[in-house]
Amino acid sequence: MSRSSKLVLFTALLLSACSTTYFKRAAIDVSTGNDTGPRGDKATIHPAVLEYVLASDRSPIVPYYAVILDYLEHGHPVSALAKSSYDRAKANVRLLKPHATELAGAGKATAKVYARALARLIAEACNKSLGASGYARIHWGNQLKSDGKRLGLGMSPTYITLHKGQNEIRLHAAPATATLTKLQEHRWNVSGVAGAWNPAASLTHEAVAKAIKAR
């Protein structure tokens, strides 16, 4: 093995050793390490708050599931180059379907419902990451083409940070149809959400929606 190859291998192993993965299934993972992304307080948040934020209109996750659910329902043709992305997306939806069906009840499991299901599935992992490192880094899918109807490149990771001094949870994410990886920061004040900072509190998604304040 050449000296340059050894250096590349050593660097990869070093980066891997500095990374911690808290959840990894069906192209969804929650991890920390190996980047210079946003940071916050080492704290935890109620899963219902995380569910609200990840399924909000500011999150790129809902448009992603809208495209995938439309594809699964209507079977639009896709290029050979894009097929692997759609295959991963289908595995993603299969994983979330039981959670989404339960959330939807007698209604339809919409894209927003799937985003809520994703949040519920990874909430524990996110809190472990937030408590240990001050942020949770989430990989979950793809960016969309400019028309907002087809899968594009792999999505830049979405970050969650907590800021107890300001009573805030923050979402750092690229827009769904972004062509650049620069993250946008979105903030919510949770001072009016009783139990927001206690993951074990009795708190529902509906209660969060009534009390949380976007900034």
**pLDDT score for 86:** 80
CA 10 to chain centre: 30
Residue 6 maps to a domain: no
Residue 4 maps to a domain: no
**pLDDT score for 139:** 86
For residue range 176-202, what is the model confidence (pLDDT) as tens digits? 776 556 788 999 999 999 999 999 999
The total number of structural domains that make up the chain: 1
**pLDDT score for 98:** 94
Distance CA 107, CA 110 (A): 9
Residue 7 maps to a domain: no
Residue 66 maps to a domain: yes
**pLDDT score for 4:** 45
**pLDDT score for 16:** 47
Residue 120 maps to a domain: yes
Q: What is the pTM of this model?
A: 0.83
**pLDDT score for 63:** 87
Distance CA 187, CA 80 (A): 39
Residue 54 maps to a domain: yes
**pLDDT score for 18:** 61
Q: Of all residues in the chain, what percent are helix, strand and coil, respectively (each to 5)?
A: 45, 20, 35
CA 133 to chain centre: 17
**pLDDT score for 9:** 43
Residue 10 maps to a domain: no
Q: Residue 52 contacts by C-beta under 8 Å, 6 or more apart in sequence?
A: 188, 205, 208, 209, 212
Please report the DSSP string for 125-140 in residue order. HHHHHHHHHS-EEEE-
- Low-confidence residues in the chain, pLDDT < 50: 4-17
Distance CA 140, CA 178 (A): 15
What domain range includes position 136?
20-214
Residue 188 maps to a domain: yes
